[in-house]
Amino acid sequence: MPPSDKRKDQDRSISEGLISRVSRAAEKVIAVPPSRSDPQGSYTGRPVETGEIPIQDADDL
């Protein structure tokens, strides 16, 4: 196998591994339930009420 083909295979496997790790990390973040200490979701971005849009104001900064 020419060196350029071998490099392409290595790049592809690295990319697939990275995509897999990033996907698993994203799934973990998405699976976190809303916080009882942040019911409006202004800090965590995950409000308790489904469909509610979190709003960040000055006291959240």
Q: Tell me the pLDDT tens digit for each residue of 12-61.
A: 667 888 889 999 998 988 887 777 777 777 767 777 878 877 777 676 66
* Structure tokens belonging to residue 12: 């592809």
User: 0.75 cut: is pTM over it?
Assistant: no
CA distance 35 to 54: 13
CA distance 18 to 14: 6
Residue linked to tokens 């973040």: 29
